[in-house]
Amino acid sequence: MASRLRQIAFLLLMVFFSSASWASVLHLPNTLSEEALSETVPMAFSPNDLDLLDFKIHWARGMIPGVEFKLVPGTLQWVRVSEILVVPRARISVKVQDGESVQIFHSGFSQSVQVRNGQANGEVPIALISGEENPIRVAVKKSGKLEQAELWVEFQPRFRNGSSDHFVSLDSSCSAFGLSAQITGKKKESWAYLGCRLIRGREESRDTASLEVFVFWDHVGSIIEIEGIETRAQTPSVWILRLSSQARQIVLQSKDEKMEIQFRVPQYLNRGLLSLGLGPYFFGFQGEDKRVSSLAPLATLYGSYFFSEGFRLVGFGLWTFEAHQYADLGLYFYVESGRFLDRRISTHLLVGGHGLHFKALDQGYMSATFPQGFEVVYSDAFIPGNNLKLGAFIYPPISQASYYNCWLRWGAKKFIELNYIAWQVQPSENTPIFSASTLGLSVGFPLIQFW
């Protein structure tokens, strides 16, 4: 028992000092292009149906005779930058006649183009972000003389079967806030991607809420109007909005287009939440010289207390309404350990313990073990704002005791859950080995928020 307690203490220390347990800080780079080009393995999902035919490359400052360039088909990639934004990148092919040396400079990177017999031919990665703040500088040396000029990317969407919709994409980080955005205007020359973060403040003894929205709005220049006031982009094509609960809408205006953003954010945030799940379960019990199976109603109380981003205290209480009066109580630290697949899938560790009670042979029994668990969450599953969760607690057979608890849950504050529990315990040497299992479907809903 002492060694088991030492293991639990060690796990709790790992949880407490885990970097994922603390609040997250988002650092916006000087240019999104640099981060987009630095990504080694882009894994972002395509947020819309844009393709290379919607982007053009052209000379902007100067021109070098004998230089040909074009976007390479099939090279479009979507890259996640600054955690909550997604931008495109691709490659351009560059051909130079009668060049001695060719160098391409873009977003802090420089790349040489190989020259053979006076002919240069190569491909260079670029970020597909419009305007003069994302230049591609071409330097060519011919006959000992250096010539330089700039290429710019320009968003020029192709015609799509008469559709008048503007391209606005929302990150999954915005789903919980009911955020929507629409661009209107006679011209259709821009596209946007929006990402969100919830910011907690403090007012007396309560947490307050504000919504931070990162707006990437391409091909509108570096200055727009926000609620009628000229505002320069914090970094090329990106504006950061801090929105309070008192507002429900904000309007951004470029030279030719208008973006209306609608959202909802509560004035105050509660750290604690209690939810209740109800449903029919198949219950089986063995240990009284026979196995008993029945269909019984089951109630589960779920509790959660927020400490910081990625770190919560969670608990559950389960009761069956049948002769054995089976009850199961657990208390765990819930720690986010990582995110992958375009940050849509997150993994979490559950570190803690549980106890169970049941009635058999005309008396009650109690047992406590320390099954550790995990949960995998897929955000925005099927419907934005709803998550799909797969998790389990595992305690393999040790001294005639074992515990397995697996669940599949879909929803948000209201949810449905498929749950399977199987356990075995021998309270003492003079008692038989008892075992039980439950399998059922429950519907959950919030009861109360507190603190």
> pLDDT-derived band of residue 423, with 50, 70 and 90 as boundaries?
very high
The DSSP annotation for 72-108 comes to: PTT--EEEEETTTEEEEEEEEEEEEES-SEEEEEETT
Residue 15 pLDDT level (bands cut at 50, 70, 90): very low
Residues 106-136: tens digit of each pLDDT = 998 999 898 888 788 999 999 999 999 999 9
* DSSP collapsed to 3 states, 352-414: EEEEEEEEECCEEEEEEECCEEEEEEECCCCCCCCEEEEEEEEEEEECCEEEEEEEEEEECCC
Q: Which residues contact 421 (CB under 8 A, 6 or more apart)?
A: 318, 328, 403, 404, 405, 406, 436, 437, 438, 439
Residue 296 in contact with residue 275, Cβ under 8 Å?
Answer: no
174-197 confidence digits (pLDDT tens)? 999 999 999 998 778 899 999 999
Nearest-angstrom CA–CA distance, 235 and 258: 20
Structure tokens at 312: 């919560």
> Once rounded to an integer, what is the mean pLDDT over residues 143-161?
89
CA atoms within 13 A on the CB side of 195: 17
Distance CA 368, CA 282 (A): 23
Residue 429 is predicted with a pLDDT of 82
Helix extents (H) in 42-197 = none
> What are the phi and psi torsion angles at 146 (to 5°)?
-90, 125
Q: What pLDDT digit, counting tens, does each position of 304-338 carry? A: 999 988 899 999 999 988 888 899 999 999 999 99
Contacts of 30 (CB under 8 A, 6+ apart): 235
Neighbouring C-beta atoms of residue 2, cutoff 10 Å:
6
Q: How far apart are CA 33 and CA 134, in angstroms?
A: 7
State the average pLDDT over residues 49-53.
92
- Which residues lie closer than 8 Å to 198 by C-beta, 6 or more apart? 176, 177, 209, 210, 211, 212, 265
CB 209 within 8 A of CB 269: yes
Question: Alpha-carbon distance 315 to 327, whole Å?
Answer: 14
Task: For each of the domains in the chain, give its residue range(s) and CATH number, in order of start.
Answer: 2-21+270-450 (2.40.128.100), 43-155 (2.60.40), 167-268 (no CATH)
What is the value of pTM for the model shown? Answer: 0.86
Q: Provide the b/e sequence for 306-343 (b: ≥16 CB within 10 Å).
A: beebbbbbbbbbbbbebebebbbbbebbbbbeebeebb
